[in-house]
Structures are given as C-alpha cells and as structure tokens.
Amino acid sequence: MENEKTFTENDSLEVISKMIKTAQQNFKDDSFYYIFWGWMVFIAAIANYILLMTSYSSPTITWAILMPLGGIISGVYSYRHERGQKVTTYTDEIMKYVVIAFLGSLFTTLLMMSKLGTATYPIVLLIYAIWLFVSGGAIKFKPLVIGGIINWIAAVVCFYVNYEQQLLVISLAVLTGYIIPGHMLKARYQKMQTGK
C-alpha cells in the first residue's frame, strides 16, 4: 500500500514536470511567430514605403512576395511543432481558436482591400491589437498586452494619415507590438530553461 502511494506521488510529480516543460516550450514556440511575423510585416511595410517614394511601378510587390512566403514557412514550422508536442494544455486549445479567428478576420480584411481603401491598414492594426492583447493575456505576458494597446492607438492614428504614412505607423506598431515583445518572450523562455 505504501509503495502504491509512493508510485502515485512520483507519477504526479512527473506529470507536473512534463506540464511545466510543455508550458516552457510553448513560450519558445510563441516567440517564433511574434518575431518572425513582426519582421516580415516590418520589412514589407518599409520596403513598400521606399518603393513608393522612389516611384517604383509595383510598390506593393514586397507584400506579394513576403506574405505567401511567410505563410509557407510558418505552416511548416507549425506542422513540425504540432508533431513534436505530446501534451496539449487548455491555453493551447484556446489559442487555436484565437489564431483561427485572427487569421479569418485578417484574410477577410485583406480580400476586401479594394472596398476598404485607405481604411484597410487601420483595420488590420485593430485585428493585430486584438490578437496581441488576447494572446498576451492568455499566456500572462504583459509586453504583448501592451503591444496590443499600442496597435489600437496606431490604428486610430492610421485613420488620420495618408497611405504612405500608414506604412510607417504599421512598421512602428509591429516593432513595438510584435518584434520587441517576441524577443522578450524568447528571453523569458531561455531564462526559464537555465533557471537563472
């Protein structure tokens, strides 16, 4: 009877240990998406702005190249991650639905660009804001929540500036909302791994 109790306690500790490791791994995996997509959007927006300023005939070509490429890279990364993940947490389940809602809203907005005109980027920033705010809250990471608030403010600013200026606002919004918090999230994960 005593051996049964010891086995159960050890088993419980092992399960808890696995859950902690899974949570730590999720921090690393989450940071990839924020850093990767932050840089993709930042580069596309800045390149779009430069091409506009130099009167290039197809200034939006950077979006047409980088966004599908980013989707492929992200999909491959996500597939590999899902295959290697043995334990799924409640937060993982919630985040799946959040990601689906985020992507559905984003794609719908981008498909309607011709109808939305210069309101497209402000609406995209509103969608970014919701994604950052909710995901930051779900994983209890304040820099992402703050990034969401910054993107809400940036969305309002974008409604009052021209298209060219919107590209600069988007760049600043993803830098402060995605890239910096993403690197902070990665650093947090590494700190948890080393235990320092």
| For residue 20, pLDDT beyond 90 | no
Query: What is the pLDDT confidence band of residue 27, given thresholds at 50, 70 and 90?
Result: very low
Alpha carbon distances (Å) from 33 to 73, 114, 177, 182: 10, 28, 12, 8
Mean pLDDT in residue range 71-79: 88
Cα 138 to Cα 99: distance, rounded to the nearest angstrom: 12
CB 48 within 8 A of CB 63: yes
Cα 185 to Cα 196: distance, rounded to the nearest angstrom: 15
DSSP state of 56: -
Element (H, E) at 103: helix 90-111
CB 168 within 8 A of CB 49: yes
Cα 41 to Cα 155: distance, rounded to the nearest angstrom: 15
Number of C-beta neighbours around residue 113 at 10 A:
14
| For residue 35, pLDDT beyond 60 | yes
DSSP state of 117: G
Digit-coded pLDDT (tens) for 143-186: 999 999 999 999 999 999 999 999 999 999 999 999 999 999 98
Query: What is the pLDDT confidence band of residue 19, given thresholds at 50, 70 and 90?
Result: low
Cα 181 to Cα 39: distance, rounded to the nearest angstrom: 12
Confidence (pLDDT) at 9: 65
Alpha carbon distances (Å) from 155 to 136, 151, 161, 171, 182: 19, 6, 10, 12, 20
| For residue 88, pLDDT beyond 80 | no
Q: Both tokens of residue 167?
A: 């590209």
